[in-house]
Structure 1
């Protein structure tokens, strides 16, 4: 429903007057951005940029090395000046965009120098070198864009570098060969611990970038664990060797100690999610035949954690999404358990009634929660 339909509906319900509706409509018409104009400008810049790249690529070998390096240095200086000028004018968004462009130009410069002087590259060593060079720029950023890119580049290149060492490669192989779910949980738990360390830094942009990456990692891994059986992947062996009570006990103590240390911080939802995935990994280790059932319970529990968080912090849209996903996951469980009865007429009738019951229950729970959130917002 667009803004004009909403205004008409609100006016009919008595939420706004006809005069207010007209004023809002006039305001929206006046501030509406010329999308066609901006789209044509973007298309123009895109075509020009592609054309410049094509011309340079066609004559790349004929361009002297000194010219290449000189242009590269000029671009670096221009981007650096742009960051300084934008900061001085208070244009933080432009400064952040130029800071990211400067960092990417540094990465391009590393590749350019390596190509001109035929320097060999091993794995992602150039990316790791870039991470070291651009590390001070993290403390100049005011938005999470560049720190997020830097974290991805640094940890990917660091993992690639450590994989060259036999002890590290053997450790990763043994960890994921014994229980891939536990290996994934270990990585997520390490991200939580690292985020707690970042909270000690007086730099919100770095913290926000890592928080976004951590939330994405949890969501992605939860989807993978629920949608796929990792033991069936060729990358992981299926030797079904348990990790042992010592490993599980020490891991549980580490999680409990971390939860106790962070009991008064904003990490409680993340710790709850880590605890859910830990229990799932433990159950798949002890009861491998019940992996499908435990994965469904894990996903419902994780969505419940997200729902509780959005409810307590008054995020009605995210709460709505959480409840929808929970209802859909229950629907998926029903299909997994009773899917075979859908081939009969009586089974279709029973299934239809079950789906209607799920829809009614979900709608009632959703309305109740959203009503409570609305009351909180008015308090």
Structure 2
């Protein structure tokens, strides 16, 4: 916040002189010399790029054991700094701790690739990912403070389970119903982080981290349900294996519904209930999408009903950004549906004119709806 803005607020009568002076004193005390920090950052980046270039140029000449030893020493050093000086570092800046946690996790992830490169070993990608997750996810969960650590946990989990699923299906072939159900359960399991995060938000000194983790799990559930609706609209489910597909989509839906109920119980506030309702609604939409497979209009209506539910939940929880996003997604899906139903018209000039008019009309309605009904404020979700 600039001092000029504070003075303008005082001149406009929005704040009194005492409040103005307190705000100016606070901003002066907590001001950051951004230009100076930028210069330091550029210098550090130049040094780092120089070191990387020197090492890369002589990579083959450095013994593998030496490279691994240096890599391990760096990882051990960052871990020691975290465990021995976390409180002091956090007092200076929580972002220092967050950066160290993230760098440590990144060093751990690259260490397994480095190990395989030195000893010429190979394995399915999900195995080193799972080992990294088992070793470093506890560190991220115990010390993470904001979105980078939350993204590492959620992203690593999603990456691991989908690599596991791909490796065990031969990238498209599932042998039996039991494997199908198990892999559906595994790929849906990251949604359970939402319930864990919801329970920890009020009990931890790091609520921002748990809030971000809950939001990422919610986004994963929403993306999964939306993708299922899109697959159904295109007729992409394998109807030749009816029982197998039905069992897998039902399993995914049940996991999401249970995670949503867990969020509701862990956070009984309006925000918590709405977040849980969104996750549970996404879980319910997955098996329904399977039923509408190949039916363009019902699948599209399901998609829009799903996002209309998200918009209603966002309205109740006063999430302005989520509400506007939901309205925009519904408008976009409506436009796509019109193209799907009137594909032949697009080959003519008259059809293109009608499509353009419809796009403008849908966009205008979406903007009016967002402006009129969107919440005025957006507290932390």
Q: TM-score, normalised by structure 2?
A: 0.67
Q: 2:320 aligned with 1:316, yes or no?
A: yes
CA, structure 1 residues 308+185, in 2 after alignment: closer, same or farther (shift >3 Å)? farther
Cα distance in 1 for partners of 2:286, 2:303 equals 9
1:217 is aligned to 220
Q: 2:281 aligned with 1:272, yes or no?
A: yes
Cα distance in 2 for partners of 1:260, 1:229 equals 23
2:71 is aligned to 72
CA, structure 1 residues 332+261, in 2 after alignment: closer, same or farther (shift >3 Å)? closer
CA, structure 1 residues 88+16, in 2 after alignment: closer, same or farther (shift >3 Å)? closer
CA, structure 1 residues 240+274, in 2 after alignment: closer, same or farther (shift >3 Å)? same
The answer (yes or no) to whether the contact 2:89–2:96 under 8 Å persists in 1 is: no
Q: 2:301 aligned with 1:297, yes or no?
A: yes
The answer (yes or no) to whether the contact 1:231–1:238 under 8 Å persists in 2 is: no
Q: 2:330 aligned with 1:326, yes or no?
A: yes
1:126 is aligned to 128
1:369 is aligned to 373
The answer (yes or no) to whether the contact 1:185–1:274 under 8 Å persists in 2 is: no
1:344 is aligned to 350
CA, structure 1 residues 350+250, in 2 after alignment: closer, same or farther (shift >3 Å)? closer
CA, structure 1 residues 153+240, in 2 after alignment: closer, same or farther (shift >3 Å)? same
CA, structure 1 residues 46+133, in 2 after alignment: closer, same or farther (shift >3 Å)? same
Give the count of matched residue pairs.
357
> Structure 1 stretch 237-246 or stretch 88-97: which is displaced more?
237-246
Cα distance in 2 for partners of 1:350, 1:162 equals 40
User: Structure 1, unaligned stretches of length 5 or more?
Assistant: none
Q: 2:100 aligned with 1:98, yes or no?
A: yes
> 1:133 Cα shift?
2.9
Cα distance in 1 for partners of 2:199, 2:24 equals 48
The answer (yes or no) to whether the contact 2:307–2:330 under 8 Å persists in 1 is: yes
Cα distance in 1 for partners of 2:211, 2:279 equals 14
2:268 is aligned to none
Aligned Cα root-mean-square deviation (Å): 5.4
Cα distance in 2 for partners of 1:228, 1:310 equals 25
The answer (yes or no) to whether the contact 2:158–2:187 under 8 Å persists in 1 is: no
Mark the structure with the bigger radius of gyration: 1
Cα distance in 2 for partners of 1:344, 1:168 equals 44
CA, structure 1 residues 295+187, in 2 after alignment: closer, same or farther (shift >3 Å)? farther
CA, structure 1 residues 28+303, in 2 after alignment: closer, same or farther (shift >3 Å)? farther
> 1:331 Cα shift?
3.6
1:323-353 deviation line (CA, Å, top 9, x unaligned): 23333433443444457287339x947974x
> Structure 1 stretch 200-209 or stretch 79-88: which is displaced more?
200-209
Q: 2:156 aligned with 1:153, yes or no?
A: yes
1:204-228 deviation line (CA, Å, top 9, x unaligned): 6885565344333344445545666
The answer (yes or no) to whether the contact 2:229–2:303 under 8 Å persists in 1 is: yes
1:50-107 deviation line (CA, Å, top 9, x unaligned): 2211111222233345643443343233212321354221513321221222222233
The answer (yes or no) to whether the contact 1:86–1:94 under 8 Å persists in 2 is: no
